[in-house]
Each structure stands twice: as structure tokens, then as C-alpha cells.
Amino acid sequence: MILDPILYLIAYPPLWQVLILGFLGSLAVAMVAIWFERKAAARVQRRIGPYWASPALGGFLNIIADMVRYVLQQLIIPGTVDRLTFYVAPIAAFIVSILPVIFIPLSSRPEFWPVASMDYSLLIALALSTLPPLLIIAAGWSSNNKFAVIGSMRESYVITAYELVAVVSILSASAATLTFNLVHIVDAQQPFKWLIILNPIAFLAAVLAVLMSTSAFPFEIPESEHEVVAGPYTEYSGALYAFNMGGAYVRRFVYALIIALVFLGGWAPYVPGPGPITGYVIPSIIVVLKALIIVLFISFLRAVYGRYRLDQALGAAWRLAIPLAIVGFGWSLLLAYIGVFH
Amino acid sequence: MPPKISLKKLDRRGGLFEGVKSNIHTLALGVKYLVDPQRSTLLYPKEYIEHRPGYRGFIIFIKDKCISCAACARICPSAAMKMVRVTEIDPKHPDKPRQKQYPVINYQRCIFCGFCVDVCPTEALYHVPFHDIVYENLADMFLSLEMFQVEPQRPATSEGLPVVYEVDEIKGLVKRRKS
Amino acid sequence: MTSGGLEAGGQIPGFIVKKIEKEVYEIFIGPQHPGSGHMRIIVRLDGDIIVEADPDIGYVHRTMEKLSEVREWLKPIPLLERMTIIDACNVTLPYVNALEKLMDKKPSTRASYLRVLLCEINRVASHLYGMGIFGVFIGHSTMYMWAFGDREVFLELAEALTGARLTHTYPIPGGVRRDMPQELPGMARRAVRYMRRRLEEYRKIFVDNPVIVKRLSGVGVISKSRAVELGIVGPNLRASGVKYDVRIAEPYEVYGELDFEIPVFEEGDALARTWVRVEEIKQSLNIIEQAVNWLETHKGEPVIAKEDFDKLPKLHKEVYEREGRVKFVPAHATMKIPAGKAVARGEMGRGEIFYYVESDGGITPYRVRVVTPSARNAIVFKHVVPGHTLMDLPAIYGSIDYFPPESDR
Amino acid sequence: MNSERIVEEVKNVLGGLAREIAWRKGYLEVLVEATNIIEAAGKLKSMGLDHVKSVTAVDYPKESKIRVTYHASSYSREDLMGFIVGLSVDLPRDNPEMPSLVSVWDGSVEFQEREVYEFFGVTFKGHPDLRPLLLIRELAEKRVLRKDFVVKEESIYEGVPFKYD
């Protein structure tokens, strides 16, 4: 049949993962995260937060209204920007932010996650998740705005600091479980040998890295409003700004997914069975819930912390987080030597 | 006892233990209010504040008491109150129309200081305890003599419930619905 | 873009053409910038270090001094109040004091206590405002919301006392405009107890927050000698170890009889300035308590000078008995004040305010000169900010509690 | 310290420089010549009056002079804190010019001298950065706080949009 290749292309699982789970799922999670961030911050600050858009839903529709506004808003392109980069960078950053989702399995059944059963999924997911900051720097640079350039410079400083932390602390899971395959990492943690319990140091370092990489509080430095307006995004408006802002939440979610798999045991203690419900839906919900907890915790931090100064954040990374990550890695080696997982 | 000056020292504690402890304090306090926010937000216009008597709101003019002394217009710090000259017929002497002057007010300028109310020798001006009124255009904010004498309708009363705020020892401001 | 005009030697009117220095990155923070307020700071950066900061203020200059010269003596009170509506009683009280000095009038003791009560309510509100803005400047939005929320408590007290939340227009020459309502002492005591408890929570979430402590310590250090040379005022001065407060140096109203202490810190950095505010709030709460206690036990005296009260017409006395409201006599609108020069000062939330009032015996002031605390603190931007990183600028700005409308007058 | 002692001390410090010393309401006014104001200010500062609260200028068109007063006080001497000494100088109205006191009182007068410059047109020689502070240059050139810049106030009958009778 001539239709077969086309059908195969349409039903090609990675495509589904990117389109359905990656895009829509990330969007949904981003919306929940934004809503929670506003609502939690409002509660801590003794306000109500989003309310009037839908009092019964706690103002959740407010976020959708916000999205609609961003999309319909006039797109103002200053005359002095480098147009091609200005358009491409935020969109590319958003897409690249979602890409790691392909390599993150939400179930151990290979029939649902053919790509995920590859042996280097953790490495590739990590590698992809470190790409978007480069595009953010490009976005800031192309804006031809002094605040944007300062913001980009800060972003580049922060990347150099957190990247090593993120990679070393997350790879410490591989050191302990002797595999780069995320499915095997999760299976090794069944049922309650979660790495957060066995190796909390690496987990702490990983969370610090996520905080820095997605410029969450207390490391919200590149976009720090009171010096550099909106950092790299200063000149952006409308949908392009929404891409920039959404990208940060998606990146946070992707990191949270990786951490949920690596440290929080993924779908453990549940063991995926055959069939779409037991093999696909239930484990994905468990993983997404675990990831959401991390995302919501990060959102909550906005309410209680201020932001560090740039040099203090970098100092925290080099003096505290990197040693922590290395100690965590060594701890993992020790775990592997003792043979906890095997 | 007379006031005095006291030199204080900054409580600069350091160390890992203190750092962890104060971080935990901070987070715990955040969680406490996340669970129980103790908020006092006014859901305007579903609710509106009923102010205490003595609140300096819109100013209403009682023409019968006015003796045309113009003290109110002269003391107005923002030149919001102006005098207009009106020819009136005195009921006692209907044949002799007399000229009187009355105040009118420009709410584009009024700052609600209440000097006019306080200076009026016959209490011909008084405050109503609110000032959330909507005007459709700026010209309407210059009230004519007739408009100046009617108490304006407060729009929030048509769709909202009155609340009062009380100072509470535990929760700060507490909103109470008035039945 | 064409730059033909410039090349041909033409100049755009109002613009200054100058050469760009290669090594220095010049950014304009403000006036349309989320972290500037109504002012502009022209900052020149070398890398991330500020080498020069030039505060360009005056965006909200409202010609207070000139307008005061053309209005009758009472009218500047609500006008001057608008320099700092968040500290309205403190900002007008020295003007009223200056008028009283010229008129040789003394307010009644009850009026003095009421003025002190409102001043301290204002001071707490003003400090809370300052701490809130400071919080959001360094990214701590919870401090902002909490401080503004708790400020409402004190605005509520002020509203119960004066009838207006912010622009009280309360002190007038010879006294105040209203007597205290019955329920105020109870409200004030509850508010005081509430605020004391909240200050502990402020400590936990903001002042002792490790992120904030790290961010603020050692930032914007003003040494004692430098503070004196720059002539800065208020909490910023006291954070640098100078033992100066107008309430002690030249006690006005009844401050000399009250029991409170002025906190002084020696570090001179942003954290010490924050601590001074926290400690001052505590002292203000003490004063509020003492003032309401006194006011509750000493009733019967009118709230304006005795000789003025006796001259009031019958209706005015009735209104005072019924509502506690002091009515003016029409002569207030066009009163004349004996010729002379007077100086009065007072301690606002942000520091010392200075009034110079000159009368030529007419119905308007001949000259009113006002120097507000922020106007004297503005110098900090020029002389203290250079040498810090760009991220320290909001921390210093917030910690000196600079308020552009007050500074610009 | 009481007020007589202050007068005594100021007299001693200034010697023959002071043309006139008199108590106003709330401050001690010391009038000196424009030519030796730096010397006088330096002597006051050495006495302990270490900062200036206000640089006040008043325009007297009838006497054709502008009086600039430096209201100085002390942060370092506790007995002086309660007093303000106004160091005044009379300047001709058509070309007011005097030496800047930034060299003596540093930052506490820097911005305020700029203010007097823009509002009254008093030129402070030796000021490091003499340009308008609050106003734009075009407005500052009108010297708005001088008495010949008149602000008109509305009368109590003006501006009413309604017609009666």
C-alpha cells in the first residue's frame, strides 16, 4: 500500500511524543505552573491572585486569557534589530526546549516509547536541554538594546556556572546505576531505592542547577527587572515574548521530568503492565505528577526569596553547587561500588 | 522618661547551621501563609467599604443654609470651589428679585481636604462618606448648582454588599460583611 | 537611518550630542524603567562596575515653593502634603510649627499628643512603604505585599482619626482639625500588638532571610564621616552611627516627654539601614501606645489653642462637642501673619525635613523654602553608588528609601 | 548649651567677618560679605557645624538683592545639634555671583547650590558641576523663584462653565 509510509510517518511515535505530549503536555504543565506560581505567591502574600476570570476555578482561565492576549497582541519589531535572529531565536529556543521530551520515557514499555529504549537517552536529553540558553543569548544580542545585551551577558555567565552542575549531578545517577538508559535507571530504582534517598546531595545540586538554568528565584538574574528591565527579552512583545516566557517554563518542566526519572524513581513503585492504560497512561501520570511537584516547589520559591547578586550566584555555583555535585558523583560511585542497585 | 539614643549592634550570625536554620524559618513561614493566607482583599465591586462617619468624601451643599459668604471658595486650596451669582425671588418680597451667590464645585480639582466644610459658618456643606463615583466625561465633573445639592448615587451599592474593616490583633485588617 | 542633520552640523533641539567613550557603557535607568521611580539615573558601566552615576531628578517637580508664595497661609498645607502623601502629617507639621513660631501661638497639649500620634502612625506606614519598595527592588515580592498590606492597618487608624487615608491635612496653626474618635484607642492598641507580632515574621522572611542578608551586607557602605560630609538624613544617617534625630536634638511637640529610644547602628550598609527601619517601627509602636494612653486619660482640653477655642461661635462649639470636628472661622481664609523669618524642622519617616518660612505681614507667605529628606539623600546616588555592580544599584536605591516626589517637591 | 553661648562662640570664631548676628525664629542669622564667605564657612565648619541643611535664597526686588543663606548645623557635636546657624550673604540682583561652598561643606551643599542656581540664577564659582537640577534648561533660564516671575491664581468667580440668570 502506498499509504503505509505516510500513515507510519503520521503515527510515528516520536512525532506523537513531540506533538501531543511534548507540546500540548508541556503547554498544559506550563499553564498549571504559571497559575500555581501566581496563586501560591498570592496566598503567601495574602492576596487572592487570579480570580475574576473564573472565580469557581480559582482564576485558572486567567492564564488562558493571558495567552490569547499574547497571541493577539501587536508584534512590535524595533527598526534597529537584526530581524532574522530576532524572529528565529525565541521560536527556535522554544522548540529546542521541547526536544528533550522525545528522549524522556514515561513508561518502560518499548511499544509506546521506541526511541526511549535507546541506551543513551539520558545523555542526549541532557545535551539537548543545554542548547536553548545559546538561543536566548542570540535573542538578546539581536535586539540591539543595552539592557538586552547586559541580560544576555548575565545569561552566558550563568550558563557557564550551572551547566557543569547539572551534568555532573544528573550523571551521578548513571554512575550509580551503570547505565545511560533512563528506563534502566528507573528500573534500577524499583520499588523504593530512589536516588533522592540514596544520594540527596546530588539531588540538591541538581535542583540548584535547575533553579539557575531556568532563572527561577533566587537566581532570577538575567531577567532581573529592576536593573535590566526584562533582560534578553526587553525588546520582545506579543507572541514572540510569549515564546520566550513559555520557553522558560517548558525548560523547567523538562528538567523536572529528568529529575523525576533520575532521582524520584520515575514511575516507581508502579510497574507498567501491558496495554495502553497500565503501560502508558498510569506511569506517565505518575511521572508528570512527580515532575509537577518539583515545578511547583520552584514556583513557590518565588514567594519567599529575593534574588542573589550575579557574583553571589556565580559564587554559589562554583563554591557550593559544583563541589556538591562532585561529592554527589563520588557518593554515587560509592553506591555502585557497594552494589546497591545490582 | 525622656527619649534617648541607643546604639545597637547588627545581629550578624554566620555559619552553616544558622544558614540552614534561617532558610528553614523562611520556607516554613512561606508554607504557613500558603496554607492560611489571612487575606483581607476587598472584592470590589461585589463588596464595597462602608466608611466611618467623618470620612471625608463627596461634598454636598445645602442651599437653604447658605449665607453667600464665599468663605468656602476663598479657602479652597485647589480652586475647585467657585462662586456663581444667581438671581432669586425672595418669597417674602416677591416683587424684588435679589442677587445671591452660591458655591459650585469642580471635582476635577477637589482634593477632599474638607476645608470648605470646616470653614462654612452655617454648616451648609457636609461630606458623604464615599468618593467612588464614575463620571462619563470630564465636563460632568464640574457640578452645577443643582447637582451640587443632591447626594450622588454610589454605583457600588447597586451590585455590591457593604463591608466594614476592623483591626484585629491576630489577622490585621479583618473584613466583616454588614448584614 | 540618516544622520545628515548631525553631519551637517545641525543639532536636534533639546538633544545634546557628545562623543561616546569606548570603554564605558552608558545606560539610562529611568524615567521609564521598572526600577527607577520618577527619576533617571545615568549610569556609566565599566564591565559590570558602575564608574559614574548621575541622578537626573526633577521629573515630578511641582513648584511647591513657588505655589506656596501665591496662596494664603493655610492653603500650602494640603499642597505641601502632596510631596509625600505617605507621610502626610510629618511633612506638614514643621510648616505649621513655623507658622506657630511666627504667630507666637502654642497648640494645646492635647493637640500636640494628637499630632504625635498621627506622626508616628505615618512613620510606621512610611517605613512599611519603604521596606515594601525595597523588597520588590531586590526581587522579594512577598515583602512588598506584606508591607503594603500591613500599612493598610495604619492607614485605617489614620482614617479613623482624620477622615482621610493619606492626605490628612491634620495639623493647623494652633492645633489639629479633629479630636480622637471613641474607638481609636482600642483600634490602635490592637494594631500595635498585631504589628509587633508581624515584625517577627518580617525578620524571618526578609531581614534574616539568608538571600537578603547576603545581598545587603557590605553594600552601599557609608562611613560615619562620609555620612556627615554628604549631609544625609534619617535612618540612613543613623545606620552610619551618627546619633542624630530631630525628635531628640530639638524636641518639638511632646516628643521630649515620651519614653522611646532612637536606634543607631554603626555598619552603614544596606542591611543596617533596613534594621534601623525595623527598630524604628518598634519605637513608633511604643509611642503610639503612650499617646493613646495619655489621650484617653486626659480629656476635656480642646484640640486647638485655648484662646482660639474661646473665640469660636456657638455653632462651631456645638459641632466640636457633637463630632469632635474643629471648624474654622472665615478669617482663617485670609489670615495675616506677623512679619518675620522662621525655621522649623521635624523628623519624617525618611529623615529630617527643614522649612524656612518668611512673612512680610501679608496674607501669603513671602518665601517658603522646604528641604525634604529625599532631596538631601539624593546625593548618595552620585557619591556612594560608583564602585558597586549594576545589581547593587536597586539595593542601594531601595535601602536609602529614596522617594522622587518628595525629593523633587 | 544655651543660645547666648552660641552667639558668643560664633562671634569668637568669626571675629570681624560677621557684619550682623541676630536671632531669628529658630536660627541664628550671621551676615557676611560675599568675598569672605569661604573663610567664614570654613571657620564655622571647624567649630563643628559640619553640614548644611538648606541653601536658602530669598529674592528682595525692592532692595534689589538676593539673600543666600546656608542653614548649617552639626551632626558631630551634640550641644550644637539643637541649633541652626544661617550663614547669609547679600548678592546684587542683576548679577548674583558668589564662591561655591562645595569645597567647605562637600556633598551637603552640592545639589542645593545647583537648585539655587536654576531657580534664582545665582552663579556659584568653583562648583564642580553647575547645571540645573530639577528644571529643564529652558525653564531654568526664566529664574522662576524670583519675584518677577508671577504665577497667576484664578479668582473665585473664574472658570465656571455654567451661566445662571
> Residue C342: which of D25, D109, D145 has the nearest Cβ?
D25
- Split at pLDDT 50, 70, 90, the class of A1 is low
D154 touches chain B (CB under 8 A): yes
> Residue C35: which of A44, A46, A225 has the nearest Cβ?
A225
At C6 the pLDDT is: 42
Is C142–A146 a contact, with Cβ atoms under 8 angstroms apart? no
C26-57: b or e for each residue (b if 16 or more CB lie within 10 Å)?
ebebbbebbbbbbbbbebbbeebebeebebbb
Q: Average pLDDT in the B164-170 region?
A: 86
C392 touches chain A (CB under 8 A): yes
What three-state secondary structure class fits D55?
A: strand
- Split at pLDDT 50, 70, 90, the class of A20 is low
Enumerate residues 6+ apart whose C-beta is below 8 A from B86. B99, B100, B101, B102, B145, D164, D165
The Cα–Cα gap between C347 and C234 comes to 7
The Cα–Cα gap between C43 and A147 comes to 12
Q: Average pLDDT in the C357-385 region?
A: 88
DSSP state of C127: H
Q: Look at chain B and report how many structural domains it folds into.
A: 1
Enumerate residues 6+ apart whose C-beta is below 8 A from A120. A180, A181
Closest Cα in chain C to A300: C142
Query: D158 CA to chain B: closest CA distance, Å?
Result: 7
CA atoms within 13 A on the CB side of A122: 27
- Split at pLDDT 50, 70, 90, the class of B179 is low
pLDDT higher at C128 or C4:
C128
C and A touch per CB criterion (3+ pairs under 8 A) = yes
How do residues A92-109 score in pLDDT, each as one tens digit? 888 888 888 877 887 777
> Residue A304: which of B30, B38, B41 has the nearest Cβ?
B30
Which residue range is the domain that position A46 belongs to? 3-338
Chain A, 275-314: which have a CB under 8 Å from a chain B CB? 300, 303-305
> Residue C57: which of D56, D78, D133 has the nearest Cβ?
D133
Say whether pLDDT at C45 is over 70. yes
Closest Cα in chain B to C76: B77
Q: Is D15 left (phi over 0), alpha (psi -120 to 50) or beta?
A: left
State percent of chain A over pLDDT 70.
Answer: 93
At A15 the pLDDT is: 66
The Cα–Cα gap between C273 and C127 comes to 11
* Mutation target vs C (from D6, D23, D29, D56; most C CBs, 10 A cutoff): D56
Q: Average pLDDT in the A34-50 region?
A: 86
At C2 the pLDDT is: 37
State percent of chain C over pLDDT 90.
Answer: 5
Is C208–B23 a contact, with Cβ atoms under 8 angstroms apart? no
Q: Average pLDDT in the C25-34 region?
A: 84
What three-state secondary structure class fits C374?
A: helix
Closest Cα in chain D to C232: D108
At C9 the pLDDT is: 47
Cis peptide before A218 (omega within 30 of 0): yes
At A14 the pLDDT is: 62
How do residues B61-118 score in pLDDT, each as one tens digit? 998 888 888 888 888 888 888 888 888 777 777 777 778 888 888 888 888 888 888 8
Q: Look at chain A and report how many structural domains it folds into.
A: 1
Query: B25 CA to chain A: closest CA distance, Å?
Result: 10
Give CA separation, C328 vs B53, C78, C111, C176, in Å: 20, 15, 15, 11
Is C35–A226 a contact, with Cβ atoms under 8 angstroms apart? yes
> Considering only CB atoms, which chain B residues are within 8 Å of A42?
37
Query: C47 CA to chain A: closest CA distance, Å?
Result: 9
ipTM of this complex prediction, to 2 decimal places: 0.88
User: CA geometry: angle at C351 spanning C350 and C354, to 5°?
Assistant: 125
Q: Minimal CA–CA distance to A95: which of A153, A27, A159? A: A27
B122 touches chain C (CB under 8 A): yes
pLDDT higher at D110 or A108:
D110
Longest CA span, chain A: 64
Chain C, 62-101: which have a CB under 8 Å from a chain D CB? 63, 65-67, 69-71, 98, 101
User: Is B7 inside any structural domain?
Assistant: no
A20 touches chain B (CB under 8 A): no
Q: Minimal CA–CA distance to C250: which of C25, C97, C393? A: C97
Closest Cα in chain B to D162: B144
Strand B161-168, strand B172-177: pairing: antiparallel
User: Is B151 inside any structural domain?
Assistant: yes
> Considering only CB atoms, which chain B residues are within 8 Å of A45?
33
How do residues A241-287 score in pLDDT, each as one tens digit? 888 888 888 888 888 888 888 888 878 777 777 777 777 778 888 88
C-alpha cell at A10: 503520521
> Considering only CB atoms, which chain C residues are within 8 Å of D45?
none
pLDDT higher at A3 or A86:
A86
**Could you give the angle at which helices C141-162 and C184-202 cross, rounded to 10 degrees?**
170
At D127 the pLDDT is: 87
Query: Neighbours of C (≥3 Cβ pairs closer than 8 A)?
Result: A, B, D
At B31 the pLDDT is: 86
Cite the residue boundaries of each domain of chain C with CATH code 1.10.645.10: 64-408
C-alpha cell at C402: 529614596
At A263 the pLDDT is: 87
Indicate the range of B52-56, C4-8, C162-166, D47-51 predicted with least confidence.
Answer: C4-8
> Residue A41: which of C141, C205, C395 has the nearest Cβ?
C141
> Residue B3: which of C160, C197, C262 has the nearest Cβ?
C262
User: Is B1 inside any structural domain?
Assistant: no
How many Cβ atoms sit within 10 Å of the Cβ of residue C312?
18
At C8 the pLDDT is: 41
Say whether pLDDT at C63 is over 80. yes
CA atoms within 13 A on the CB side of A148: 18
Query: Neighbours of B (≥3 Cβ pairs closer than 8 A)?
Result: A, C, D
Say whether pLDDT at C4 is over 50. no
Q: Specify the CATH class of C64-408 in words.
A: mainly alpha
Is B19–C210 a contact, with Cβ atoms under 8 angstroms apart? yes
Longest CA span, chain B: 95
Beta-carbon contacts below 8 Å between B and D: 37
How do residues B126-135 score in pLDDT, each as one tens digit? 888 888 888 8
B65 touches chain C (CB under 8 A): no
Closest Cα in chain D to B69: D156
Is A43–B38 a contact, with Cβ atoms under 8 angstroms apart? no
- Split at pLDDT 50, 70, 90, the class of B13 is low
CATH number of D3-140: 3.30.460.80
At A36 the pLDDT is: 84
How do residues A185-244 score in pLDDT, each as one tens digit? 888 887 777 878 788 888 888 888 888 888 887 888 888 888 888 888 888 888 888 888
State percent of chain C over pLDDT 70.
Answer: 95
Q: Average pLDDT in the C161-165 region?
A: 87
